[in-house]
Amino acid sequence: MLQQLKNMVPQRRKNYLLESTTPSVQEQELWPDMTWRMSSLLRAGLRLPNILKTVHQHIENLVSEHPLHTQTHILFSRREQRAYYLALEDAIRLLQRMYRAAYTGAPMVTVLKDLSLARSYSYQRCLELISCWYIAEKTGAPIAQAIERLARFYEREIDLDQSRRSAMAAPQTTGTILSWLPALGLTLGALMGAKPIEILTQTWGGILLSLMGLWLALAGRLWTSKLIAQAQKGQPCSSKTH
């Protein structure tokens, strides 16, 4: 079912500058906060259009309080701030579509049709939210309870992500230090008068060793980054099975 919903979003707007930016805690907490507000207002007995309008107003207040709201050049701010600002815009875009669907009585799944989002994290959370709503509509399950469980799922995902980041902090630091060791060795050799730069650049053997060293250093850095990225995503480090 989730794949069917993904097919309804054929083109997601890419922001290549921020595509690799890891969602900050602030960006991650946006989604459980939004779903908790929905569930509490649903339990209070408000009509769905009024609920979505209230949540939409809350997100707009966050946008107006954001430092980038009054800045013209968003590209010159911190990546995390820019990513969070775009996530707020994604949430507003989603809530506007949900409000129109609720106001006209259309199925909530129609929200996904041609929906354009800036952040891949927003894209995934949007699919999960609409999937939850879709299941509740199809099965007749209480939507407030379903939204509450989704909010708890979001919070567990945030806790797990923070645990992974803490666990990977030491390997990332170690990899960074190891990548700087060759430069440190050349600097110490130059300070001792061994002239390593001249040897590595003015002799055939030195040039060969330089090329081999650069290739190994680059390969090691890429391999380490790949292992760390796989560990952060919970993927196995090797595709081989035993």
| Contact present, 34 and 137 (Cβ < 8 Å) | no
CA distance 39 to 143: 8
Q: Is 8 exposed, middle or buried (0-12, 13-18, 19+ CB in 10 A)?
A: middle
Distance CA(131)–CA(128), nearest Å, equals 5
How far is 201 from 213, CA to CA, in rounded Å?
13
Amino acid identity of residue 65, one-letter, is: E
> Given this model, what pLDDT does residue 226 score?
75
pTM over 0.75: no
Long-range contacts of 12-17 (CB under 8 A, 24+ apart): 12/116, 12/117, 12/120, 12/123, 13/116, 13/117, 13/118, 15/86, 15/118, 15/119, 17/75
Q: Give the Cα separation of 135 and 119 in Å (integer).
A: 24
Q: Closest by alpha carbon to 150, among 24, 8, 39?
A: 39
**Radius of gyration of the chain from its Cα atoms, rounded to whole angstroms:** 25
Q: What would the pLDDT profile of 46-76 be if each residue is shown by its tens digit? A: 999 999 999 999 999 998 887 776 655 555 4
Q: Of 150, 85, 159, nearest to 122 (Cα)? A: 85
Predicted confidence at residue 18, as pLDDT, reads 54
Structural domain spans, the chain: 2-161, 168-232
* Residue in the structure block whose two tokens are 């129109």: 100
For the chain, 242 residues long, the average pLDDT of each consecutive 10-residue run is 57 50 87 93 90 93 78 60 87 92 87 82 88 85 89 90 75 73 78 77 80 81 73 54 39
Please tell me the predicted confidence (pLDDT) of residue 55: 94
Predicted local distance difference test score (pLDDT) of residue 133: 87
Say if residues 154 and 221 touch (Cβ distance below 8 Å). no
DSSP state of 1: -
Closest CA to 80 of 34, 123, 27: 27
Residues 6+ apart with CB under 8 A from 67: 77, 81
